[in-house]
Structure 1
Amino acid sequence: MSDNQNKELLSGDWTEKTVTSKPIFAGKVISLQVDTVALPNGKEAAREIVRHPGAAAVIALVDGKLLVVEQYRKPLERFQIEIPAGKLDPNEDPMTAAARELEEETGYRAENLVLYNAFATSPGFADEVIYIYFTDQAVPGEQRLDEDEFLHVSAITMEQADAYIAEGRICDAKTLIAVLTWKLYAATGKLLS
């Protein structure tokens, strides 16, 4: 395709229109479908799509430290350190989910939650969006883990966070975003979104 043809294509409607959608799998957390789409050039292509209800996570600071949980992540076959997070229930407000997950996983309750940002985890194949909230006003509450949840809670320093990133013990996007946000907040006293 020439540069002029590509420019013409991009100047018009280049959305992909769904021709057919075939459900493949429906699980407790995700579903998978294969869509046939009409491309802007008139051809068709297949798109494998993972549907996920979304999640909420919390950057929670307690006495200048970041609350994290460490748990075994089967897909990676190793323990990971992450900020508290969890899946949205059907029609659930993300802030409600964030507050719930913070208390259930860590035993801390947020006196105030502020939406920091939301991001798509893997837009090339999944529709999952994670809403990240911030609080520096967390107080002790009551931990209530799910029956299939086994995790260790701790509050870490920035130096520990940097070491865990270097070691690969922190490698998920939401926690990497949390550490960068925390550093920005510590340096400026402000959240940027």
Structure 2
Amino acid sequence: MVDVEPPDGSRFEHHVVRLQRVILAVALRAGGSEVLMLRRHRFVTDQVGWELPGGIVDGNEDSVTTAARETEEETGYRPVGAGRKLVEFQPMIGMVDTPHEVWVFDQVVNVGEPTDAVEAGTVGWIPLSDVVRMIDSGEVLGGGSVTGLLRYLVDHPQD
């Protein structure tokens, strides 16, 4: 519960949820025409769809390390080379404080099976040319995945 005083001077109490920093990864196949995603069931909304790999920052871990670790744990693919931050945003700024970042890796290599059983899903390479259609049809879940993919496509439009 927080005490809020808007510019008009009125005051009220407002419920706010504060969550940890969330990191997602746009991991690309060499050549940049496909993105690595997971198809999962989300019990909260009882939906099945595609998402970018990602998760919560562990301890004092930096964001790019989290993006690489989560990608490997959830997909079995390890990012090669340096990642770059694509976008940082707050998905529900009116009620929830949950900073999100999306990082891009231009290449990954398969190092085995996913190791995070809790986040298990079907790992797949999605053509970037299909992403907008998939978002429009509800096949891509989560504001972080939608925001990250659309932001990437702003700089890398597909035919």
The TM-score, its normalising length taken from structure 1, stands at 0.72
- The answer on 1:47 being equivalent to 2:17 is no
Structure 2 unaligned regions, length at least 5: none
* Cα RMSD (Å): 2.1
Q: 3-state DSSP class of the match of 1:101?
A: helix
Please, which of 33, 45, 58 is the counterpart of residue 25 of structure 2?
A: 58
Larger radius of gyration: 1
Per the alignment, residue 154 of structure 1 pairs with 124
Q: 3-state DSSP class of the match of 2:147?
A: helix
The whole-number CA distance in structure 2 between the counterparts of 1:49 and 1:145 is 34
- The answer on 1:84 being equivalent to 2:53 is yes
Q: 3-state DSSP class of the match of 1:36?
A: strand
After superposition, residues 8-157 of structure 1 pair within 5 angstroms as 34-63=1-30, 64-111=33-80, 112-157=82-127
Offset of 1:110 from its aligned partner?
1.1
The whole-number CA distance in structure 1 between the counterparts of 2:106 and 2:124 is 15
Name the aligned partner's letter for residue 96 of structure 1: T
The whole-number CA distance in structure 1 between the counterparts of 2:146 and 2:101 is 14
The whole-number CA distance in structure 2 between the counterparts of 1:160 and 1:89 is 32
The whole-number CA distance in structure 2 between the counterparts of 1:154 and 1:100 is 18
Report the identity percentage: 26
The whole-number CA distance in structure 2 between the counterparts of 1:186 and 1:44 is 45
- The answer on 1:180 being equivalent to 2:147 is no
Higher strand share: 1
How many aligned residue pairs are there?
155
The whole-number CA distance in structure 1 between the counterparts of 2:134 and 2:17 is 30
Structure 1 unaligned regions, length at least 5: 1-33, 189-193
The TM-score, its normalising length taken from structure 2, stands at 0.85
Deviation per CA, 1:153-187: give whole Å up to 9, x if none. 00011343233223201142222233324434434
The whole-number CA distance in structure 2 between the counterparts of 1:62 and 1:78 is 27
Deviation per CA, 1:82-133: give whole Å up to 9, x if none. 1111111233311111110010011111112111111111110111011110
Offset of 1:75 from its aligned partner?
2.0
